Structure 1
C-alpha cells in the first residue's frame, strides 16, 4: 500500500529542532556552559508552554471542563502558539476525533494501535487524514470564541514571533543570544513537543487501566510528572469532562491545581467534576473483572466467584446508599432546608451509612488481598 505524501514542513521542523537540541545544546554546554538564569528561563518557558496546552488547549477548549476569563484565554492562546502545536481550533478538532474514535485505526488521528512511532510523531509527518485538515465541524462552539479565531487566523505570525522573539529578547537582555536561542528556543521546544506527544503514545502503552479497559489509555504517575498531570490518562478517557486528571490529593496534577487556584482569583469558573460514586464504581468494576479472571482457573472457582460477587454486590449497595444520602445532605445544606444541619437526623443517618460503607470496603479489601 502506497504511503501518504510526506509533510515536508513538519519533517523539517521536527528534524532541525531535534538536531539542535541533541547536538548543539550539549556542545554549547561543554564548551561554554549555561548559567542559572538561562536554565531557569528555559524551565519557565517549558512550564508556560506545557500548561497552556494542558489547561488551555486540552481541558478548557477541547473538553470544556471549565470556563475561563478572556485574559486567561489570551495567555493560553499565546502559550499554545509558543508551544508550536498548531492552533487551538485544529488541535481541539483532532483531539475530539481521537476521543470519539479512540483506537480506531481508520479514524483516530493518532491511534495507539498503529504503534508507538505513529501515535507519537508519525501521524504528523504524512498526510494520513488530509481530507480533515480544514474540516472543523466538530468545533463549531470554539469558532464562536473570538480569541480562538484570532489565534487561528494569526497562528503562523504568532508562533514565529514567540519562538524566535522570546529567546532573542531574553538573550539580548541577558547578554548571550546564542545560549538563549539554544536553551530557551530549541531545547525548550523539543522537550515541550515530546512530553506532550507522550500522552498520545506512552500513555496508551505504559501504565494501569484503573477505570476501564475499553480503550488503550493508561494511568501512569511518572508520565503525569512529565506532562503536568496528563498521565492519568485511563481516568481521563472515561471521565473526559472532569477538569481533573489526578483525582487523589497525592496525585501530581499541577494543571488541576492551576485551574482551581484561578477559580479563587475569579479567572476560572464552572469547574466540572465527575460524580464520586461513578468514579468509584468504575474502579471497583475493574477490580471485580480482574479478580474474576484470576479465580477462573482456581479449583474452587465456582464457590470463590460466588463469594466475590456477593462481596461486590454488598459494597455497591452500601455505596449507593451512602452517596444518595450524601447528595441529599448537600442539597439541604445548599437550599437551607435544615435549621441545624449538624444536629439533624439526616446527618446521623449519613454518619451511620458512611461507617457501614467503610466496614464493607474493609471486608472487600480483605477478600481481594486473600485472592492475591
Structure 2
C-alpha cells in the first residue's frame, strides 16, 4: 500500500464517497423511498454514480429493496432476510441467487415511468464501464500511474462500498438498539452510520422509511441527509419528507414502555411502581395525542387564513396549555424511566 501516492488516495476517497452517495442518496432515498424530489441534473448525476457503484440498475436495486421492506424477515419473500443468517443477508443472497426467475417489477411501476431510471437501466453496462474503466484509466494516464488509480479508486473502492451496503442488510439487523419498533430485526447502530454514509440508524428507517433522514438528531452522522438538505438550499432538491415529531415520540415512548415492563416483570418490582409506570405512560400518550390533534386544527385554521381569529380567541391559550402539559408529562416519564433504568430490577 506504500506505493500509492496522495493523488491516488484522494481519487480513492473522492470516488468512494461519490459512488456511495449515488447509492444512498440516489438508489435508496430518492428512488426506492421517494423521500424527496431532485432536479433532472441531480437525478442523472446520481444515476451515473449509482451505476459506477456496480450494485445493479436503479430499477432492479429498488425493486429488491421495496420487497425487503414489505416482507422484512420473511425467509421466502425478503430478498436478503436476516433470519437466514449473517452470511446470507450480507452477500449469500447475491452469490446463490435464491428464488429468482423472471424479474418481477410490479412494485416499481412508478420507476418504470421515470425516464432517468429507464435510461440508466437500458444503458447500465455502458455507464458502469465508462465510470469504472474509461474514466479511471484516463485519470490514471493523466497522473502517470494508470494501475495505481485503477486498483485503488476502482477495484478497492468497489469492494469496500459493496461491503458497506451489505453491512446494512446484515449487521444492521443483528447489532444495535430497537429504539422505535420491535416488529422486525432492524437495529440502530451509530458505528455503522460512519461506514454507510448515515444509513446505520436502521430501526428508525424501517419504522419511518419515507423520511429523507436516517439520523434525526443534530449529532447523528448522516452525510446523505446533509447532502440532500444542502442541495435543497440551492434549489436542486425539494419536497424533503420528514416524519412528524409526534409520531416519532409516540414510537420511542412505546418502545421504552415495552422494555421497562419486560424488565419489571422479570424482577420483583412493587405493584405501585408498575401502576406508576402505566399511569405515566397513558398520561404522556394522551398529552401527545391532544397536542397533535390541536396542531392539525391549527394548520387548518392557518390554511383558512384565520390568523386574526387565532389572536382574538382562546386558541393561543389552549395551545400554550397543551404544550406545557406535554412538557410536564414528558419530564415525568423521563424521570420515572431513568429511575427504573438505574434500579436493581434491571441489573
Q: Does 2:111 match 1:113? A: no
Name the CA distance, whole Å, in 2 between partners of 1:301 and 1:195.
47
Structure 1 segments unaligned to the other structure (5+ residues): 1-28
Name 2:173's counterpart in structure 1. 204
Name the CA distance, whole Å, in 1 between partners of 2:305 and 2:142.
58
The 1:304/1:107 distance shift into structure 2, 3 A limit, reads: same
Q: Does 2:89 match 1:101? A: no
The 1:120/1:300 distance shift into structure 2, 3 A limit, reads: closer
- Segment of structure 1 superposing worse, 200-209 or 167-176: 167-176
Q: Select 1:178's aligned residue among 147, 155, 176.
A: 147
Map 1:1-372 onto structure 2 (within 5 A): 29-30=1-2, 32=3, 34-132=4-102, 134-333=103-302, 335-339=304-308, 345-372=314-341
State the SS of the aligned residue for 1:121. Answer: helix
Name the CA distance, whole Å, in 1 between partners of 2:182 and 2:147.
48
Paired residues of 1:229 and 1:254 also in contact (CA < 8 A) = yes
Count residues in correspondence: 341
Name the CA distance, whole Å, in 1 between partners of 2:134 and 2:270.
67
The 1:125/1:43 distance shift into structure 2, 3 A limit, reads: same
Paired residues of 1:338 and 1:344 also in contact (CA < 8 A) = no
State the SS of the aligned residue for 2:266. Answer: coil
Structure 2 segments unaligned to the other structure (5+ residues): 342-347
- Please give the root-mean-square deviation of Cα atoms over the aligned residues, in Å: 1.8
What TM-score comes out, normalization by structure 2 length? 0.93
State the SS of the aligned residue for 1:56. Answer: helix
CA-CA distance at 1:342 after TM superposition: 7.5
CA-CA distance at 1:328 after TM superposition: 3.4
1:7-63 residue CA offsets vs partner (Å, 9 max, x unmatched): xxxxxxxxxxxxxxxxxxxxxx23x2x222221221111111111111110111111
CA-CA distance at 1:251 after TM superposition: 1.0
1:153-206 residue CA offsets vs partner (Å, 9 max, x unmatched): 111111122111222121112221121011111111111111111110110011
CA-CA distance at 1:252 after TM superposition: 1.2
What TM-score comes out, normalization by structure 1 length? 0.87
The 1:230/1:335 distance shift into structure 2, 3 A limit, reads: farther
State the SS of the aligned residue for 1:272. Answer: coil
